[in-house]
Structure 1
Amino acid sequence: MTFFKKIVIFVIFSQLFSLKGVTQGIIVQGIVRDAFDNRGLENAHVKILNSDSNVVALVTTEIPYTVIHSEGAVKKNKNPNSGAFFECIVPKNGSYTAVVSMMGYKTKRVLFHVPQDYGKKLEIGDIYLFQEQKALEEVTVAATKLKIYHSGDTLVYNADAFVLDKQNVLEDLVKMLPGVELRDGRVFANGRFVESIIISGKDVMPSDPMQLMKMLPAYIVDKLKFYDQQGEKSKTMGKDMHDASYVMDVYLKRDYHAAWLGNAQAGGGTQKRWEGLGFIMRFDDRQFFTISADANNIGRERENTDICTIESAYDDRDLTNHQLNLNYSYHPTDKLRFDVNGVARRQDTEFGVKEKQKLDLSNSTDIYKLYSKTSNKINDYYRGGMSMTLRPRKGLYGKLMYSFKYGKDTEESKGYSITSLRDINISDSVWLQIGQMQATVPTGITNIYKDSVLSLRHAYEHKAETEWHLALGGNLLKFKIDYDMHGDNGNINQRYINRVFEDEETEAKRKSLHDTQIKDVATTMQLEYNINYIEDSSKRGILTPYYTFIHKKAHDYRELVLFEPQNDGSEVSHIDVDNSRRIKEKSETHTLGLYWIHEMQLHRKGWVCFNGQMPIHIKDVSVQLIHETASNRQHKQYILLSPTLEMKWYPKADDRKGSITSLNLKGWCNQTTPKEIYLLNQTDTSDPLNTYMGNPELRKQTDLGLSLGFRHYFERNKHNTYATFGSTNTWNAIAIQSIYDKQNGTRTLMPVNVDGKYNISLECGYGMPLASNQTCWLNLSAGANYTRCANMMFDNSNNQGFDYMKLYGYRVKANLRWNNTSRNVEVAYTVASNGNGIISNADSNEKLQELTNSLSITSHLPAGINASVNCNFISRFGFEMKTLNRTFIFTDAHISKSIYKEKVELSLSAIDIFHQRKHVQFVMNGEGHIETMATQYIPAYVLASIRFNWSLSSKKKR
């Protein structure tokens, strides 16, 4: 071999080895898309910078193609919907920045980190570029902002893509998000429950985040992100321990970071209505502080409610509400965090009603009833707490927490009821005199009951908790102690007269005084050890044995003093020996269990995760009833089993968390014991209309359940769907049997075991954008449930027992939202149908239905004027009492104008224009029929308000 050939071979091998050395780095892949239409952007420049801002890679994006052979020519067929891909190599682990740029688009910088021992390939997900704004003849033309997109495992909503004004709060913004619902004050995203709410990646929200949702201004929010957040175990171990929770992350705009901001609002209107609001907040990298005040008498407490959930917003009683909230969180480093929060609230509720009703009962004699009641209730509530979280070193976590609650209720009420078997045509004034026992009773009256009640109640609660995690090699030790003490002290002063007209007129008069003292103390200790028995790139297994000990003690003391009226007007007092009592309860529960998680990757079929739990509870219960003359004691021992087995399948290979597609199957068994007080052999006749009896023969209840869930997100067209199915079968169901005596209107209540109960439920939903720019969204959802159980209410006049009845319900809902920021208009239309039915073997069937149409229009008009109208058209029918079947319209209107550089806002609101709001109170007898219906209309009103928004930045933002 010549010298020249040797040189050539040496050069070739040198190049080969040098190339091999280059590929020893980590491959980084990503996709670049247009934020407007989601199409791939080809020939975009991607520059990778290391932590020293030095360029380590420079590539351009390319749309993948397929080769087509046609008529002897080779063509490349490119699909922009697949995105434009790029791939490059970084030399080692560490932090990097991807700078993505393209003509006509804003440059975007994406930070990413390659951890130690990561592997050979890292995907940083989709990168969206927004078009640059172009000025043409002093008119700004901007691309429509993308409302919703996925970034890896995170669902992202762009807050600026929705029509908002300065008066909107975070709750209003959440209601606008496609696929997101508020149900009973809880947030659901595509049917999935949001477990907690955090701010800008920091878990600094208060203990009552829903209160902050009512106060936090929406205009300071940049994005809302939904994702699975690592739990404390994972943070301690530095790897996934399967303790993630689904969160809503409220990212604030950079301009409001490290700034003081707030607002104040005051208003007054017709019907003597007034309101006042105040809010101050500061958030930065180390601290979070909020203080809010709310005082109003606008007829209801400010509630989180969906557009079609009218009951909580319109059926509350007329009340005056005062509330003060304080939250502070301090986290100077990752090693220390301190939180404190407090709430003070007073609510004054007034209620007054007088109605005459004809009870249209099938298979029964018609009954006419006059019902009158007035009441005033004042509730004082205080809550506070503090916690400290410590991470002194890697692999060690500790938490100390204390909280308290205190409540005081004062209520004074007066009422009476008159029952008749025929309609007596007399004036209302005579009816009132009869109810006050000041007139001759006409023929046909069967019963008159009158009472006055003055009650005072104090309740308190103290909780203390400490929890520690310690990483031991590849395993984790957890230790936790809880201490919980709560009490309830109260007295009730009641005077009643019960006059019954049978063959002979009988009358009972009594004045009673209840003094009640309840105190419960519970101590819980838990110890668990997480063993990582297998862990590699395709498998993960955790085995957790644990032990829990719970010790409970309770003391329930009640003294009942009776004042018997005498003919001379005097009163003789004595203690009611049969109903005065002292109850002592004690229980100890030992739980030994095993928790198992196993996650593995299937060949080309994604990931599957199994988890199961097998606890064995040994519970010892002792309860003692002490009377003045006798005592009764019950002692029970139970062995309870509560196994659970669940399988989660994520079909996509690169979707380990199941954010795109998931299938969930779960089965469980749960055994519960009766309440200790149920086991006492006692008869309580302190309530003249309700006699309570204990049942020492009660057995434990067993529930067997099965659930199936499916969720899928269509990445290409942004559609999403979910469906859940659940079934529960109950043995020895613990229920309260109610026997109704039609002659005197009294009930006898007793806990019993009932077999043959089961429940089936189904829920599904589908969401889709109706426009490529996502300005219009359609969301569909439906749910149904079916329950078979025993009818525990029956009439003892014909000696019949309870029969089985079937309860069913359904809901169908469609929501259409059109939101156009360029035209400053948002329109939302919702139609919902809800139904509930009762099918009984021994009684008439009842089918209740409700149809709701809701229309909301919000528009930003010229000259800084904002206008909105909310109209809810509701039809309810199927009630056995015909007077409850009705159609009504709830309509609110609002107009506002911003002045003084949008810092001051003047507004005018008209609430319930057609005067439809009311509170309805039902009383049902032992047969399940509506015996009394009381209605109080809440006044409609017009409210004028002024609002001031301010912000103060501590430094200039770039």
Structure 2
Amino acid sequence: MKQLLFILAFIPLCAVNAWSQTKTKGQVKGHLTDKDSKQPLADASVALLYARDSSMAASAFTDKKGAFSLDGLDEGAYKLYISFIGYQPLLRSVEITATQPSITLDSIPLQKTGVTLGEVEITEIKPPIRVKKDTLEFNAGSFKTRQNAVVEELLKKLPGIQVGRDGTITAQGETIKQIFVDGKPFFGDDPKLATKNLPADIIDKIQLIDKKSDQAQFTGINDGQTEKAINITIKKDRKKGLFGQASAGYGTDSRFAAAASLNRFRDDQQLSFLGSGNNVNNLGYSDLGSLSPGGGGRRGGRGATNNIGGNGGSGITRSWMTGLNYSEDLSKKLKVSASYFYNNGRTENDNTTSRQNMLPDTTFYYDQQAHSLGTNASHNMNMRVEYEIDSMHSLIVSPNINYSTNNNVMQNHYESLGGQRQLVNSGSTLNIGNSTTPTFYTDALFRKKFRKTGRTFSANLNIGVNNSDQENFNISNNLFVDPNGNTSTDSIDQRNDVTNRGLNMAMRLTYTEPILKDRFLEFTYTWNRNYNTSDKLTYDFNKAKGVYDQVNDSLSNSFENTFSTQQAGLSIRTQKQKYDYSAGLNVQFSDLDNNNISLHNRLQQHTVNFFPSASFSYAFNNNRRLRFFYRGGTQQPSVTQLQPVPDNSNPLYIQLGNPDLKPSFNNNLSLGYNTFNPASMRGFFANISAALTSNKIINASSFDSVGRQVSQPVNVNGAYNINGNLVNTIPLKNAHTSINITTNFNLNRDVSFINAVKGTTRNFVINQGFSLNYAFRDLFDFATAASANYNGARYSVQQNNNTDYFNYAFSFDFNLNLPLGFIIGFDLDYTLNTGLAAGYNQNVTMLNAFISKSVFNNQRGLIKLQGFDLLNQNVSIGRNVGQNYIEDVQTRVLQRFCLVSFSYFLNRFGGGGDKGAAKSMRSESGMPVMMPGGMRIRKG
């Protein structure tokens, strides 16, 4: 095994060494000045073109002293192209030879005005990266990807952007939650549907944006409500045809995967179809190259959670999926986008749990083995209609409809031990549940501008309907041992029917009034009403009749809850060229009305909250920005938390409701700083956020002598959470790549009540990560990442249970291009675990590998053999740290299998596709065309 890893790790190093022994590495450097003033010119664009075809060989920007350097060049003839706004572009021939590998050009003067260049006229040069006010723009042509690669592969090559094993995208320390295509939504809010289905070679630009709210986009006044999003722009010559792919594969252990996608894009229309089916945990994505065993999700939990397994995952999933996406500008005034998505999944899972429950005076140890089988089906439809009534009025309507069904069966065998490891209880449970959940939500936003610039009015209306019908069966047999050694048994055989109905209505009115050229007053009024009813009827099993017909009054209840708020606010917003800020004061009136119909009692509460709001943004220049905001708001308790009926589906964990709960109030602060220099490709991004919650809802627990736990939600103060992340992008100019160094930390403080004793739990998590992507010509590319993770838990009551644990992870992905269309590659993951419960400190090595062969003309077909978890070591281990417990969980994952697949790529464009584009590039028509690296040239 060690020999195999040694050989795999040194493949790229050997290839680099062999190439370096046969090639001469050249360099071109120089210094730019203004011809008249002799002053240096900073941030000028410098491009080195191959003399044979004017394609891009290297590019750079000049530094503050006007100097530039182009390194790592092969022998050959080149053309040096220099451009700067307001100056005449310059074209000069240079040649790298074995005898003269380094060329130093002394002061190069640039003359203002004038554009003629003789043989080759370059009308536009696109730098790899551009920084705008709220947008970081990457030119896709400057980041080479393999044939038939998808957008996800392109994103991995962009500095400051990271793509996880599960496809989650993180940019500048923030998670990307939405991707747009040419400014239009693509299949709702799941970014992976775009990154794993759209081909990279159709992309013109990747734009990382701070997406403002619809209200801020309309008024032009920053309201501080932004989120990171990505907008993908499509090349113009790829909007006149069809593109997509179809794939099918079959493997060992009856594993299968099939997928298809078809897209037709126009300047004003997008139409896409997706469909897939598999039993390898690939959740609805057509890129079979993204398959990974165990990729079905990660286990969460209350409190801090750290998943430290091999490849994550929770069970084995069979999934069927189909979806349609449609977007079109029907006219200059009317834009429509809609998507429909159907998913049908079946997940089988086994998990083993080892939990330590920490009480003020003793400790319980709980172990369980559970098997579950769940099936679910969901229909989801999203729509967005934008109508510009006239230049002063507009309307946006966004409805959403979802209908889902779920059927679940879980069997559980458990055992609890006391502090002396003596048996306290044991037993088994069987839970069967069926539910249907239809939901409807719509948002309507009306906006009006007045003739006076900056005076606006908007009305936002939300209506949501949330219903669910459940039928649950609870069967258990339990043995209890008291401290004297006496035993008792208990059995449950019940059915409960739960019906929940919810109606939410909200309205927000906003009026802005300019008081100076760059200062505005904003008045807001918000009304919200949330009405919920819950009816729970529990029936005991009638052995004589063999049916569930005996009503259990103590476990049955009818309950209704109404929570309404009114909030008024006044703020002043100032917008300058380099900065903007806002400061305001809000008052919120909250009314809670709980009506326990079964017990004939009613509880009404009225609260008033005053809280400020503030935001500040300062742009030092186009490349550096500082941001701050504060926001407050309430969160109401759920109907389940309010309903005073025990939930005994787990006989060792009885959950009660609390109709006396108050709404919690959250104070949220955030501070962010980012800087990115497109000339040096150096970037630094820092974000820190804090949340302080008053009247936080936590579960107060009490344990009896036989290990039974009764939990009830209560309100507490003193809870807070602090998150921070740092991302440092360091360029390696000679290697034409960057190193990403990330630091993430989280400090969480919770309050607990265990057997009426108040305590606190502090959990600190820190992660230090490193990643690097490198591509060597068309020969090979690799990506490597490493991380060290620390988790520490501190308990104020049982301090002897304070714990620290570490885990370390390393990954290495490698792809090698061979002649005749062959590609081989592998990805290796190694995880080292320490500090967990006995049996959970497993070190895991995951190795996946593939070999593929392109077939047909233009590589339209691909045959691929993939092997997953070749060492058969995949596991999923998670640790959950709660208010009074530490829990280690190991779940079932998909292990070693092989898959043979065939994929066909459809690319039919009106311009003749890639071949047609290459032909026009050699034409003598004089029309500008796009060259590799983002250059437009005109041959004369």
Superposed counterparts of 1:39-188, under 5 Å: 39=62, 60-61=88-89, 86=112, 102=117, 107-109=122-124, 127-128=125-126, 147-150=128-131, 154-182=135-163, 187-188=169-170
- Determine helix, strand or coil for the equivalent of 2:681: coil
Aligned partner of 2:400 in structure 1 is 403
Name whichever of 570-579 and 170-179 sits farther off.
Answer: 570-579
Rounded Cα–Cα distance in structure 2 between residues aligned with 1:452 and 1:613? 54
Rounded Cα–Cα distance in structure 2 between residues aligned with 1:491 and 1:869? 47
Following superposition, the deviation at residue 239 of structure 1 comes to: 9.1
- Determine helix, strand or coil for the equivalent of 1:174: helix
1:600 is aligned, of 576, 580, 597, to 576
Following superposition, the deviation at residue 783 of structure 1 comes to: 1.9
Matched, 1:376 2:373: yes
Following superposition, the deviation at residue 889 of structure 1 comes to: 0.8
Aligned partner of 2:36 in structure 1 is none
Aligned partner of 1:863 in structure 2 is 820
Output one character per residue of 1:109-155: Cα deviation in whole Å (capped at 9) or x when no partner.
4xxxxxxxxxxxxxxxxx54xxxxxxxxxxxxxxxxx7545478643
Which amino acid in 2 is paired with 1:637? H
Rounded Cα–Cα distance in structure 2 between residues aligned with 1:414 and 1:891? 33
Matched, 1:826 2:824: no
Rounded Cα–Cα distance in structure 1 between residues aligned with 2:722 and 2:883? 27
Distance 1:813 1:648, change over 3 A: same
Aligned partner of 1:346 in structure 2 is 344
1:750 is aligned, of 712, 716, 739, to 712
Name whichever of 910-919 and 415-424 sits farther off.
Answer: 415-424
1:220 is aligned, of 193, 202, 224, to 202
Output one character per residue of 1:322-366: Cα deviation in whole Å (capped at 9) or x when no partner.
11111011213321112221000011111246x798989999999
Output one character per residue of 1:23-68: Cα deviation in whole Å (capped at 9) or x when no partner.
xxxxxx99554361224799979999xxxxxxxxx962599xxxxx
Output one character per residue of 1:586-626: Cα deviation in whole Å (capped at 9) or x when no partner.
2322121124320225xxxxx22112343221121111112
User: Is contact 1:236-1:396 (8 Å) kept?
Assistant: no
Following superposition, the deviation at residue 749 of structure 1 comes to: 0.9
Aligned partner of 2:474 in structure 1 is 494
Distance 1:526 1:411, change over 3 A: same
Which one has a bigger Cα radius of gyration?
Answer: 1
Output one character per residue of 1:160-199: Cα deviation in whole Å (capped at 9) or x when no partner.
4445334532122212322102467653333355464222
TM-score by length of 2: 0.78
Following superposition, the deviation at residue 775 of structure 1 comes to: 1.9
Distance 1:228 1:421, change over 3 A: closer
Distance 1:102 1:868, change over 3 A: farther
Aligned partner of 1:8 in structure 2 is none
Which amino acid in 2 is paired with 1:593? G
Aligned partner of 1:713 in structure 2 is 676
Output one character per residue of 1:713-762: Cα deviation in whole Å (capped at 9) or x when no partner.
23542211122233444444321112233x43321112223333333333
Matched, 1:450 2:428: yes
- Determine helix, strand or coil for the equivalent of 1:173: helix
Aligned partner of 2:855 in structure 1 is 899
Matched, 1:417 2:393: no
User: Is contact 1:578-1:684 (8 Å) kept?
Assistant: no
Which amino acid in 2 is paired with 1:638? T
- Determine helix, strand or coil for the equivalent of 1:533: strand
- Determine helix, strand or coil for the equivalent of 1:884: coil
- Determine helix, strand or coil for the equivalent of 1:910: strand
Aligned partner of 1:13 in structure 2 is none
User: Is contact 2:378-2:405 (8 Å) kept?
Assistant: yes
Rounded Cα–Cα distance in structure 2 between residues aligned with 1:238 and 1:925? 44
User: Is contact 1:713-1:720 (8 Å) kept?
Assistant: yes
User: Is contact 1:876-1:885 (8 Å) kept?
Assistant: yes
TM-score by length of 1: 0.77
Rounded Cα–Cα distance in structure 2 between residues aligned with 1:230 and 1:372? 47
Distance 1:288 1:587, change over 3 A: same
Aligned partner of 1:588 in structure 2 is 564
Rounded Cα–Cα distance in structure 2 between residues aligned with 1:338 and 1:515? 41
1:552 is aligned, of 530, 542, 547, to 530
Distance 1:920 1:852, change over 3 A: closer
Distance 1:867 1:324, change over 3 A: same
Which amino acid in 2 is paired with 1:155? L
Aligned partner of 1:876 in structure 2 is 833
Rounded Cα–Cα distance in structure 1 between residues aligned with 2:526 and 2:787? 46
Aligned partner of 2:588 in structure 1 is 617
Matched, 1:736 2:699: yes
- Determine helix, strand or coil for the equivalent of 1:399: strand
Distance 1:265 1:86, change over 3 A: farther
Aligned partner of 1:651 in structure 2 is 620
Aligned partner of 1:638 in structure 2 is 607
Aligned partner of 2:60 in structure 1 is 37
Rounded Cα–Cα distance in structure 2 between residues aligned with 1:32 and 1:766? 24
Superposed counterparts of 1:571-586, under 5 Å: 573-586=549-562
Aligned partner of 1:337 in structure 2 is 335
Following superposition, the deviation at residue 84 of structure 1 comes to: 5.9
Aligned partner of 2:21 in structure 1 is none
Rounded Cα–Cα distance in structure 2 between residues aligned with 1:511 and 1:579? 13
User: Is contact 1:31-1:86 (8 Å) kept?
Assistant: no
Superposed counterparts of 1:356-371, under 5 Å: 371=368
Superposed counterparts of 1:307-346, under 5 Å: 313-346=311-344
Following superposition, the deviation at residue 669 of structure 1 comes to: 4.4
- Determine helix, strand or coil for the equivalent of 2:192: helix
Rounded Cα–Cα distance in structure 2 between residues aligned with 1:661 and 1:908? 47
User: Is contact 1:358-1:369 (8 Å) kept?
Assistant: yes
Q: Percent identity?
A: 18
Name whichever of 900-909 and 229-238 sits farther off.
Answer: 229-238
Distance 1:749 1:663, change over 3 A: same
Give structure 1 stretches of 5+ with no counterpart.
1-28, 49-57, 64-76, 89-99, 110-126, 129-145, 425-443, 602-606
- Determine helix, strand or coil for the equivalent of 1:107: strand
Which amino acid in 2 is paired with 1:171? E
Aligned partner of 1:940 in structure 2 is 896
Aligned partner of 1:790 in structure 2 is 751
User: Is contact 1:279-1:293 (8 Å) kept?
Assistant: yes
Output one character per residue of 1:869-925: Cα deviation in whole Å (capped at 9) or x when no partner.
11111111111x121112111111122110101111000111111112234588999
Aligned partner of 2:450 in structure 1 is 472
- Determine helix, strand or coil for the equivalent of 2:264: strand
Rounded Cα–Cα distance in structure 2 between residues aligned with 1:422 and 1:243? 50
- If asked which structure has higher relative contact order (CA below 8 Å, sep 6+), I would say 2
Which amino acid in 2 is paired with 1:546? T
Rounded Cα–Cα distance in structure 1 between residues aligned with 2:476 and 2:582? 58
Rounded Cα–Cα distance in structure 1 between residues aligned with 2:380 and 2:557? 31
Aligned partner of 2:193 in structure 1 is 211
Rounded Cα–Cα distance in structure 2 between residues aligned with 1:391 and 1:359? 60
Output one character per residue of 1:225-283: Cα deviation in whole Å (capped at 9) or x when no partner.
22456765576568989887654221223432221111100000111110001000011
Rounded Cα–Cα distance in structure 1 between residues aligned with 2:588 and 2:361? 49
Matched, 1:270 2:252: yes
Aligned length: 812
Following superposition, the deviation at residue 448 of structure 1 comes to: 3.3
Rounded Cα–Cα distance in structure 2 between residues aligned with 1:787 and 1:327? 40
Distance 1:642 1:866, change over 3 A: farther
User: Is contact 1:44-1:101 (8 Å) kept?
Assistant: no
Following superposition, the deviation at residue 291 of structure 1 comes to: 0.5
Which amino acid in 2 is paired with 1:883? G
Rounded Cα–Cα distance in structure 2 between residues aligned with 1:534 and 1:554? 46
